[in-house]
């Protein structure tokens, strides 16, 4: 069965510093992985997706994630945080009929 | 091209009432998914529908919850005799194909149900 674990429920970084949101996955086959972002009282927006092509995936708003099979990880990074990045981030693995979400990491940006 | 449209955005019901949540998928999408987000939790799959068919309802509670996606009109998630534990955000998503593998879903902005 597929599952994802987001290792931090809250992450705080100062504006202009790097962001690292951690995600580990479990999958019985080569997975498709996604990161979604949810701003307060809004729907979910796809940041990026990995589907067995390049292991380093670039997404929107300067985010990227690296698929590491040996570590079963798919961590999300951004070189320089912006105030508008404050939101909830979900790591997601696909199952043939559904998406399986992690519990989310709330990113706080300190001025 | 309009995205996935959900209404209402907010819904307040008293215990025992019925809640009806509507979802219009993106144009050209014939597959609809409903997810529920409880406070401080990620989204949990409830049900996957195609037009007039329920494909997978393994995430739906066995009682009081039902979903449909008729040939014409939006998909409806119906909750009968609501209880406080039903308070959550309900998200609808759509896709042009039925296979989620490799295909991200397009989500609506959700309906936030509050049961008083």
Report the run of H or E that residue B10 belongs to, with start and end: strand B10-13
The answer to whether B46 and B111 are in contact (CB under 8 A) is no
Q: Which chain B residue is nearest to residue A2, measuring alpha carbons? A: B101
Helices (H), B1-116: none
- Other Cβ atoms less than 10 A from the Cβ of B38: the count is 13
What pLDDT, on the 0 to 100 scale, is given for residue B98? 62
* Cβ-defined contact of B100 to A98 (cutoff 8 Å): yes
Q: What is the pLDDT of residue A2?
A: 84
- Tell me the pLDDT tens digit for each residue of A55-110: 899 999 999 999 999 999 999 999 999 999 999 999 999 887 788 999 999 999 99
User: B48–A100: do the CB atoms touch at under 8 Å?
Assistant: no
Mean pLDDT value across chain B: 91
| B9-30 tens-digit pLDDT | 999 999 999 999 999 999 888 8
Is B103's pLDDT higher than 80? no
At residue B108, φ and ψ (nearest 5 deg) are -80, 180
pLDDT value of position B60: 95
Mean pLDDT check: name the lowest of A31-35, A93-97, B25-29, B105-109.
A93-97
Strand runs (DSSP E) across A1-111, as ranges? 3-6, 10-14, 19-21, 23-26, 33-38, 44-50, 56-58, 64-68, 73-78, 87-95, 98-101, 105-110
The answer to whether A91 and A102 have CB atoms below 8 angstroms apart is yes
Does the pLDDT of residue B114 top 90, yes or no?
yes
Place of tokens 């979910």: A44
Q: How confident is the model at residue B101 (pLDDT cuts 50, 70, 90)?
A: low
Determine the pLDDT at residue B15: 97
Residue A52's pLDDT band, with cuts at 50, 70 and 90, is: confident
**pLDDT for B100 beyond 70:** no
Nearest residue, CB atoms, A101 vs list B43, B56, B112? B43
Q: Which of B41, B99, B112 sits opposite A96 (nearest CB)?
A: B99
Which structure tokens are listed for A96?
């043939």
CA triple A53-A28-A74, angle to 5 deg: 45
User: Whole-angstrom Cα distance, residue A93 to residue A26?
Assistant: 9
Q: Which residue has the higher pLDDT, B28 or B78?
A: B78
User: Is A32 within 8 Å of B41 when comparing Cβ atoms?
Assistant: no
List the structure tokens of B42. Answer: 């990620």
Q: Give the list of residues 6+ apart from residue B91 with CB closer than 8 angstroms, or none.
A: A43, A44, B6, B34, B35, B36, B37, B43, B107, B108, B110
Give B39-74 pLDDT, tens digit per residue.
878 899 999 999 889 999 999 999 999 999 998 999
Does the distance separating the beta carbons of A43 and B4 come in below 8 Å?
yes
In chain B, which residues have their Cβ closer than 8 Å to the Cβ of A98?
A: 33, 45, 48, 56, 59, 100
CB contact under 8 A, A90 and B112: no
Contact of A75 with A20, CB cutoff 8 Å? yes
pLDDT at B99 over 70: no
Q: Give the one of B100, B109, B112 whose C-beta lies nearest to A95's C-beta.
A: B100
């Amino acid at each position: 069965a597929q599952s994802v674990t987001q290792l931090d429920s809250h992450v705080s970084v100062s504006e202009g510093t790097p962001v690292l949101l951690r995600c580990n996955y479990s999958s019985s086959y080569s997975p498709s992985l996604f990161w979604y972002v949810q701003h307060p009282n809004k729907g979910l927006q796809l940041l990026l997706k990995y589907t067995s092509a390049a292991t380093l995936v670039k997404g929107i708003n300067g985010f990227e994630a690296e698929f590491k099979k040996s570590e079963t990880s798919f961590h999300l990074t951004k070189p320089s945080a912006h105030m508008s990045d404050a939101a909830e981030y979900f790591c997601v693995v696909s199952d043939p009929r559904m998406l399986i979400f992690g519990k989310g990491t709330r990113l706080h940006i300190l001025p | 091209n309009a995205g996935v449209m959900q209404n209402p955005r907010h819904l307040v019901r008293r215990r025992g009432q019925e809640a009806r949540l509507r979802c219009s998928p993106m144009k050209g999408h014939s597959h609809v998914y409903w997810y529920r987000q409880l406070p401080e939790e990620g989204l949990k799959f409830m049900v996957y529908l195609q037009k007039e068919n329920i494909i997978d309802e393994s995430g739906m509670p066995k009682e009081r919850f039902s979903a449909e996606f008729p040939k014409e009109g939006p998909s409806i998630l119906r909750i009968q005799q609501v209880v406080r534990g039903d308070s959550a955000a309900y998200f609808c998503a759509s896709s042009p194909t039925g296979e989620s593998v490799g295909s991200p879903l397009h989500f609506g902005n959700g309906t936030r149900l509050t049961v008083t």
